Structure 1
């Protein structure tokens, strides 16, 4: 403390401007006091520095308490950040191990079905790795996070989504009925396939979690395409992903959290909020529609169609 005070005084004596110095002491009653110390140069009529004037700025007890609470909050946030960094590091070690095993399997002679399963494992791992790297949630909230734009098979991504909720479906004893035309399953489009997998699996898993079990209970995952031709060579696929489940459906608070983040948000609410924002970044929209006996997530996303399919008549606008 004394060393920092000497540095402050020397800077002022040298004619430099200095910042305020955090200063603490114990008063006559033994109470710990925090203050800010400022120093100003003293000059004579010729402008020569002849000394230093020091001032102590002591805050009120209320302000000191607020400063203490702020420091405790900052320390708690720092501790949480350290824990998150640790978890990310450990998760990446596990992901690296999975990748190593995948590479070993890829070097073997596998049948077509085995290679398809290996490909799905790869896509799940890549999706997981991207979520682990989502350290800057604020960029997603403000809708300026970067999205990749690469060609991918929509049917392959939808199959991965179904695989991700298969375990939850068995656990909840609720069947997931997948309904999509063959044209969608063979469609090659441009976009961020990992983000598409992330948001669809999140909406689908929430629908499963809030579907009551009864004989024949199910969640319907329906995919409907609408093609649009722009000019002679460009086609855009407007895809509606509709996830329908029985009422009462998602609680009102979670639906509110999906569009409005607040301090009391739950894990499920935060997941829905981030998924909704990711869809928005993909120039899409999300709705939650309640009807008398059912409720639905309605996700609309448009994808540029691969040029290899542009000239195919079956995808021409009717």
Structure 2
């Protein structure tokens, strides 16, 4: 009655009042009872009794009420002190648990630590850790603690961590969108979930559930699920939420650690199994790491190469060493330019045996500093095969020139009338046959030139020449072909043009290839212009030296910008052109090679639909 009405009560004769319930064996005649209230919160009652009837009056009620107010203060202070002490103990425990959790980087050790720590904070019958599988959108149980193990009866004196199972559990899989599974609800909402016994129709009626997600930096790593017979309270929810936050950070660290370890193991597996030599060099050009294939290429153990300078390994300081590092080490140049270097091939003596190695050097910029990735291929057999092929091709093309020279000689004799006068039709036939043989001769010269270049046997026969004579001879070769196509050929060169120190045969080969291309792509009724002029200075030549610019201009379909850099590659032909393809894509590659052998360069200016202009820049005779 006092608790319900929050009022003091005096019963002078308990035998006459039905509200009195006798407790114990001590006889009671009268009783007084006052409520204990703290700011409208009822916390109990204070009761005094006497064996006599009519033992209490209003004065004693006031005295007991004053005493009750003091008791309320004492009880409230004691409760606050108890809560503060409990929270301090819990905070100390959480700090301890935080240290033990964050120092665990092995997954199974971390799972055991988390589940053991749960038992120190909240009592439960079953605790389970689920990990989140993002691709499958599901939760997968990886560790479980259970208070009852029928097969492990009698071992409960062990530490909680010893009762955690990570291998022999029945792995449970929950869909992330299973609305009847409390762990799934906690995961999808990223918030702890409480379910009282019987609250969820799909759960056991005698089971309460608490689930807290492991979320770190807005990323879900898993869920901690607890189960017991009695309901969980809000204080236990707060503790588990704090624990799950710390565990989430630990799971994130473990995940990153495992990923780094996995990446390192994968990288080591790739390096060890690669047939190519792979090495990593620092900014001091010393080897940091090499794989077994790299060591095998140089006849050394990988441990012997680590710490060695690349110049020592590649013998760059020796007379027979590589020319690529004479001015600046290739590694340093790659790091300075911060871009991969062009592929190079080196000829080295390795343990007294000549080898050809292909090198790819790529700088890698990281937060910890730059380093270079060096990939080495043994191309000795490829180079030997290429040289043999080039030598064979050189021999064949050289042998083809002898009968072709005989054909050309007899055609020339016939055209000169040695065998008798020719009528107009016969002369035209002979001229066309002579032009065809010249074209065949040019193709053989192209093949011979490339084969000699590949075999390292190409040499120029330079002499003082008149460029005008070379141009006239080259144009005359194509007069009939141009007339048949309805194309006008124009020569624009000054009479007092300076002399050049060049190989006349090779310069004529340059003109022949460029004019042939121009005629092929120029439509009927248009012009092909061959011109030459002198400039006192050009950025592509040495300062103070005059240069000759030899230009062949056509009125063809033009070349798109994206193809202009590749047209000088061997066998490359521009795709999707309206003109039918001819040749093997060697002409411009040969032009570039010959011009560069003369210490010159070649440029192309072209706009689709407006034709192209090829400019060969050659140094004049000093």
Q: TM-score when scaled to structure 2?
A: 0.28
| Counterpart for residue 60 of structure 1 | none
| Counterpart for residue 301 of structure 1 | 618
Which residue, 200, 224, 228 being the options, matches 2:511?
Answer: 200
The alpha-carbon distance between structure 1 residues 154 and 143, as it changes in their structure 2 partners (threshold 3 A), is farther
The alpha-carbon distance between structure 1 residues 227 and 81, as it changes in their structure 2 partners (threshold 3 A), is closer
How far the C-alpha of 1:174 sits from its partner, in A, is 1.0
| Counterpart for residue 590 of structure 2 | 274
Q: Residue 183 of structure 1: SS of its match in structure 2?
A: coil
Deviation string for 1:261-305 (max 9, x for gaps)? 368897352121111111111111111111473321111111315
| Counterpart for residue 219 of structure 1 | 528
**Do residues 152 (structure 1) and 461 (structure 2) align?**
no
Number of paired residues? Answer: 204
- After TM superposition, list the pairs within 5 Å mapping 1:85-104 onto structure 2: 88-96=398-406, 98-99=408-409
Which residue, 168, 172, 176 being the options, matches 2:481?
Answer: 168
Aligned residues of 2:393 and 2:451 also touching (Cα < 8 A): no
Aligned residues of 2:397 and 2:444 also touching (Cα < 8 A): no
Distance 1:242 1:223 in 2: 6
Q: Residue 570 of structure 2: SS of its match in structure 1?
A: coil
Output the aligned Cα RMSD.
4.4
Aligned residues of 2:391 and 2:455 also touching (Cα < 8 A): no
Q: Residue 224 of structure 1: SS of its match in structure 2?
A: strand
Q: TM-score when scaled to structure 1?
A: 0.51
By percentage of residues, which structure has more helix? 1
| Counterpart for residue 103 of structure 2 | none
Distance 2:547 2:563 in 1: 27
Q: Residue 448 of structure 2: SS of its match in structure 1?
A: coil
- After TM superposition, list the pairs within 5 Å mapping 1:99-248 onto structure 2: 99=409, 128=441, 132=445, 135=448, 137=450, 139-140=452-453, 145-184=458-497, 187-213=498-524, 216-226=525-535, 238-248=547-557
Aligned residues of 2:600 and 2:619 also touching (Cα < 8 A): yes
Aligned residues of 2:569 and 2:589 also touching (Cα < 8 A): yes
| Counterpart for residue 13 of structure 2 | none
How far the C-alpha of 1:101 sits from its partner, in A, is 8.1
Which shows bigger deviation, 252-261 or 148-157?
A: 252-261
How far the C-alpha of 1:93 sits from its partner, in A, is 1.9
Distance 2:552 2:446 in 1: 28
Distance 1:258 1:273 in 2: 8
Q: Residue 258 of structure 1: SS of its match in structure 2?
A: coil
Gaps of 5+ in 2: 1-384, 419-433, 538-543, 575-581
The alpha-carbon distance between structure 1 residues 290 and 277, as it changes in their structure 2 partners (threshold 3 A), is same
| Counterpart for residue 570 of structure 2 | 261
How far the C-alpha of 1:134 sits from its partner, in A, is 5.3
How far the C-alpha of 1:223 sits from its partner, in A, is 1.0
Aligned residues of 2:571 and 2:585 also touching (Cα < 8 A): no
Which residue, 584, 599, 602 being the options, matches 1:283?
Answer: 599
Distance 1:90 1:192 in 2: 22
Q: Residue 459 of structure 2: SS of its match in structure 1?
A: coil
Distance 1:288 1:149 in 2: 26
Distance 2:456 2:394 in 1: 23
The alpha-carbon distance between structure 1 residues 138 and 175, as it changes in their structure 2 partners (threshold 3 A), is same
Deviation string for 1:59-96 (max 9, x for gaps)? xxxxxxxxxxxxxxx9xx98x99898566534412304
Aligned residues of 1:174 and 1:218 also touching (Cα < 8 A): yes
How far the C-alpha of 1:145 sits from its partner, in A, is 2.4
How far the C-alpha of 1:100 sits from its partner, in A, is 7.6
Aligned residues of 2:560 and 2:607 also touching (Cα < 8 A): no
Distance 1:160 1:206 in 2: 17
The alpha-carbon distance between structure 1 residues 256 and 99, as it changes in their structure 2 partners (threshold 3 A), is same
Aligned residues of 2:499 and 2:620 also touching (Cα < 8 A): no
How far the C-alpha of 1:152 sits from its partner, in A, is 2.0
Q: Residue 204 of structure 1: SS of its match in structure 2?
A: helix
| Counterpart for residue 426 of structure 2 | none
Deviation string for 1:226-270 (max 9, x for gaps)? 357xxxxxx965111111122422577974543333688973521
Q: Residue 146 of structure 1: SS of its match in structure 2?
A: coil
The alpha-carbon distance between structure 1 residues 193 and 199, as it changes in their structure 2 partners (threshold 3 A), is same
- After TM superposition, list the pairs within 5 Å mapping 1:76-87 onto structure 2: none
Distance 1:245 1:304 in 2: 28
Aligned residues of 2:595 and 2:601 also touching (Cα < 8 A): yes
Q: Residue 269 of structure 1: SS of its match in structure 2?
A: coil
